Amino acid sequence: MNVTKICCIGAGYVGGPTMAVIALKCPHITVTVVDINKQRIDKWNHADLDQLPIYEPGLKEVVAKARGRNLFFSTNVEKAIEESQMIFVAVNTPTKTYGEGKGFASDLTFVEKCARQIAEVATSNKIVIEKSTLPVRTAEKIKEVLSSNTKGVKFEVLSNPEFLAEGTAIQDLFKSDRVLIGGDETESGKVAVAALVSIYSNWIPKEKILTTNVWSSELSKLASNAMLAQRISSINSLSALCEETGANIEEVSKVIGMDSRIGPKFLKASVGFGGSCFQKDILNLVYLCKYYGLEEVSDYWFQVVKINDYQKNRFAKKIIQGLNGTVNQKKITLLGWAFKKDTNDTRESAAIYVANQLLEEGAELHIYDPMVNEEKIHQDITLLGESKNNSITEIQNKLKRCIVHKDHMEATHESYAIAILTEWDEFINYPWDLIISRMMRPSKIYDGRNIIKKDNHLANIVEGIGN
C-alpha cells in the first residue's frame, strides 16, 4: 500500500511533534494535523515560530522545514479525514472524574468522538491508528464504532503508542529506542501494519520497528510507563529513609545504578514525578487489574502512586517545619513550575501540589519558571482548587497569594525560603551567594531536584532530597 496522505486528529504534545517529524522525514507524504481548538491551530501556523503552542527543543526547526511544504495545520477535521488514507488519533485521554472507574480509568470520550466522526465522514477505506495511550482492548471498542459505517467502508485499527519524553521528544522521534505497532493477524491487518512500517522505515532501522498484536501493544505502553514510575517511587522511598539515617541518596543511587542488572536511569531522587502519562497510566493499570479481579496486582501498582503523593507532601512539610512550623504570611519562592526541564507542560507537576499545600498554610508564593506563564500557573491553581471542592472565594484568595515573576532575582528577593521544583539548567548557575544575601535570615533553600552543589558555605542553607 502506497501511503501519500495522512492526518492526525489532535495537535497536542504527541500529535504535533510526531507529525512534524514524519513530514520532515517523508517529504513524499502530505501530513495534515487537525484540531477543533482554533487558537491552538493558529499558534501552529503562526509566522513567529516562538509562538508554537508547545515548547520542545528542536521542534520549531523541524516545523520551519516542513510547514507549508507537506506539513499543514487545520481546523477542518472532516476534510482531512476524507482525504487521508491513514488517520492517527492523538487526543487527550484524561483520568475519569465521574462514574464507573472515577479517579482511575481513562476517559475515552474524545477517542470515541473521533471514531464516530471518522465513521460518519469516511467514504473510502482507512487505516485508523491509536496514538493516544489507551487501555487494553480499546481498539476493539473503536472497531465497534467504526463498523457502524453503512457505506461499505472498511477500517483497520492499529496501535502505535508514543514513547516520547518531553524535553527530548524530537530526539526521541529521530532516534527511537523502538517503534511499536500492533495490528490484527489477518491479511488486511498485516497489510495495514506493513503500510505503517513503510512510513517509519524512512528513518528508523527496521530492527527497531517491533510488531505485535493489538492488545500487546496497548499494554506495553502502560507497562513501560508503570515500570519507569516504579523506579522513581522506589528511589524516592529510599530517600526518606536516607534522611532519617544519615545515608546519602545520591551515593546510594550511584551504587545501585552501577549494577548492570539495574542501570542508573530513573534513579534520581526528587520531589516526585509528574507529566501527562505516568500517574494516568498507572491508575489505568490499577483499574484494569481490579476489573479483572487481580486485587493484589492492583494494590502493588497503586503503591507507586501513593509513594509519589507521599513524596510531594513530605517535601511541603519539610519547608513548613524548617520555617518554625509556620509559613503564614511568609514569602516563599518557587523556582520551576513545569513538571520537568525543557518543556512548558505542567500536567501533574509536583510544583502544583507543593504550592497548594503551602497556600493552605497561608504562605505568599512568588513563582518563576522560564517557560510557564502567569495565566497557566493561575489556571493550574484554580483547577486543583476546584477538584478539591474549594469555594470561589478560597480559590481567589489563593490566586492573590500567587505572584508570578519574569525574573528570578525579583522572585527571590526577601524570601524566607526558596524551593526548587523543576531541574532547569539555568538554576544551577544562578549567583546563589548574591541571592542568599538578599533573602530573609535565616535563609533556606529546599532543593527538590538535587541540582545545587552544597559547597561548604551552602551546606547549612541547602536541603536536598535524601541528603
- Overall CATH class of domain 5-212: alpha beta
Could you tell me where the beta strands, DSSP code E, fall in 197-306? 209-212
Categorise residue 354: left if φ over 0, alpha if ψ from -120 to 50, beta otherwise: alpha
On whether the CB atoms of residues 155 and 85 are closer than 8 A, the answer is no
**Residue 262 CA, distance from chain mean position:** 24
What is the per-residue pLDDT for 413?
A: 97
What is the per-residue pLDDT for 168?
A: 94
In angstroms, rounded to a whole number, what is the distance separating the alpha carbons of residues 331 and 61? 40
Q: Cite the active site residues.
A: 277
For residue range 273-330, list pLDDT tens digits in order.
Answer: 999 889 999 999 999 999 999 999 999 999 999 999 999 999 999 999 999 999 999 9
Q: What is the mean pLDDT of residues 45-63?
A: 96
Domain 246-463 in the same topology as domain 5-212:
yes
For residue range 160-216, list pLDDT tens digits in order.
Answer: 999 999 899 999 999 999 999 999 999 999 999 999 999 999 999 999 999 999 999
Residue type for position 399: L
**Residue ranges per domain, the chain?**
5-212, 246-463
In angstroms, rounded to a whole number, what is the distance separating the alpha carbons of residues 99 and 306? 22
For residue range 210-261, list pLDDT tens digits in order.
Answer: 999 999 999 999 999 999 999 999 999 999 999 999 999 999 999 999 999 9
Residue 337: what are its φ and ψ, rounded to 5°? -135, -30
Q: What is the mean pLDDT of residues 94-98?
A: 88
What is the per-residue pLDDT for 152?
A: 87
Mean pLDDT of the chain: 94
Pairing mode, if any, of strands 30-34 and 5-9?
Answer: parallel
Domain 246-463 CATH assignment equals 3.40.50.720: yes
- Counting residues of the chain whose pLDDT is more than 70, the rounded percentage is 100
What is the per-residue pLDDT for 147?
A: 86
